[in-house]
């Protein structure tokens, strides 16, 4: 993906005070709760990766009663993740600007999100979490949370390398912010409370819509001439890598579709492609079809 260093607008860097972890682009490692080996890591990722349950509840691993952070950056000259930070900031702001324009074109008001970069653990408007939760969006403070070491996890654990694979992760989380702005996530949360036997199925539809929104953004990047050969394939590999079926098979050797919360690899690929091919959020209605 063609990109350039620019403003850190809407980016809050608290890595200088949250402690733990280190790494750069691409060699970082995710902080793991003590007692978890490789299988434990995969189980955590299977349950939590890409913000499992975000936009309407506190993901597992959070503790209530904390406040969102607001500062504590690493000095630029001492930052081993400086390049990855710059790229992440660019992607986040490009996606944010894309959605702000889209909302404006539709006569809607758009409230900008914030991107919080942390290391090891973080306090949020939804509670506190370790890096094992994976990238996530918190609707309570409308912030996307990233431990940059997850870049290395995507390459080493998930087999999803490349800058546009990482961009897909950020765009997916921004999709959850769009859902919050449109009221979709609040409606889903209410339905989940009313129809608890459908909670997982509703979560899958919400996550697939976020994948579709990521695809819409990817199409805008393509139209601007900023995609390189192979970028789309990187994002597709990433979407497939975090399918519930693939992660469950890695973690346990078996697959339980009834426990899916994000969708299968094929579904995630399909809905990312749907958004990318249409380039319009109207194509991302994952709630009307009988089968997604």
- For residue range 240-260, list pLDDT tens digits in order: 999 999 999 999 999 999 999
Does the residue 267 lie in any domain?
Answer: yes
pLDDT, one tens digit per residue, over 185-238 is: 999 999 999 999 999 999 999 999 999 999 999 999 999 999 999 999 999 999
Does the residue 6 lie in any domain?
Answer: no
Query: Which pLDDT belongs to residue 86?
Result: 95
**54 versus 144: which is more confidently predicted?**
144
Does the residue 51 lie in any domain?
Answer: yes
Does the residue 1 lie in any domain?
Answer: no
d(CA 251, CA 264): 15
Q: What does residue 115 show for φ and ψ, rounded to 5 degrees?
A: -110, 125
Does the residue 292 lie in any domain?
Answer: no
H-helix or E-strand spanning residue 275: helix 265-278
Does the residue 110 lie in any domain?
Answer: yes
pLDDT, mean of residues 74-97: 90
> Closest Cα partner for 114 from 163, 67, 166, 70?
70
Q: Containing domain of residue 167, as a range?
A: 11-284
Q: What is the mean pLDDT of the chain?
A: 84
**214 versus 133: which is more confidently predicted?**
214
d(CA 241, CA 222): 22
Does the residue 161 lie in any domain?
Answer: yes
Q: How many domains does the chain contain in total?
A: 1
Does the residue 289 lie in any domain?
Answer: no
Look-up: residue for tokens 């087999």?
159
pLDDT, mean of residues 152-166: 94
First-last CA distance in the chain: 29
pLDDT above 90 as % of the chain: 72
**198 versus 50: which is more confidently predicted?**
198
């Amino acid at each position: 993906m063609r990109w350039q260093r620019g403003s850190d607008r809407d980016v809050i860097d608290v890595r200088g005070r949250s402690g733990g972890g280190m790494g750069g682009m691409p060699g970082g490692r995710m902080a793991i709760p003590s007692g978890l080996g490789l299988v434990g890591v995969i189980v955590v990722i299977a349950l939590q990766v890409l913000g499992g349950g975000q936009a309407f509840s506190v993901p597992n691993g959070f503790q209530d009663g904390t406040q969102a952070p607001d500062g504590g950056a690493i000095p630029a000259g001492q930052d081993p993740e400086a390049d990855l930070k710059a790229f992440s900031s660019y992607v986040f702001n490009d996606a944010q600007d894309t959605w702000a324009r889209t909302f404006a074109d539709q006569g809607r008001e758009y409230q900008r999100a914030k991107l919080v970069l942390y290391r090891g653990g973080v306090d949020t408007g939804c509670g506190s979490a370790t890096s094992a939760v994976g990238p996530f969006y918190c609707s309570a403070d409308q912030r996307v949370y990233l431990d940059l070491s997850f870049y290395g996890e995507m390459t080493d654990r998930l087999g999803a390398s490349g800058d546009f694979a990482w961009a897909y992760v950020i765009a997916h989380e921004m999709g959850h912010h769009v859902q919050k702005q449109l009221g979709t996530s609040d409606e889903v949360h209410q339905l989940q409370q009313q129809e608890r036997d459908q909670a997982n199925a509703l979560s899958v539809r919400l996550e697939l819509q976020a994948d579709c929104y990521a695809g819409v953004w990817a199409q805008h990047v393509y139209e601007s001439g900023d995609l390189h050969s192979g970028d789309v394939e990187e994002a597709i590999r990433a979407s497939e890598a975090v399918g519930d079926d693939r992660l469950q098979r890695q973690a346990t050797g078996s697959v339980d579709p009834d426990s899916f919360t994000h969708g299968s690899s094929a579904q995630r690929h399909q809905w990312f492609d749907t958004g990318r091919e249409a380039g319009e959020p109207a194509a991302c209605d994952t709630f009307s079809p009988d089968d997604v």
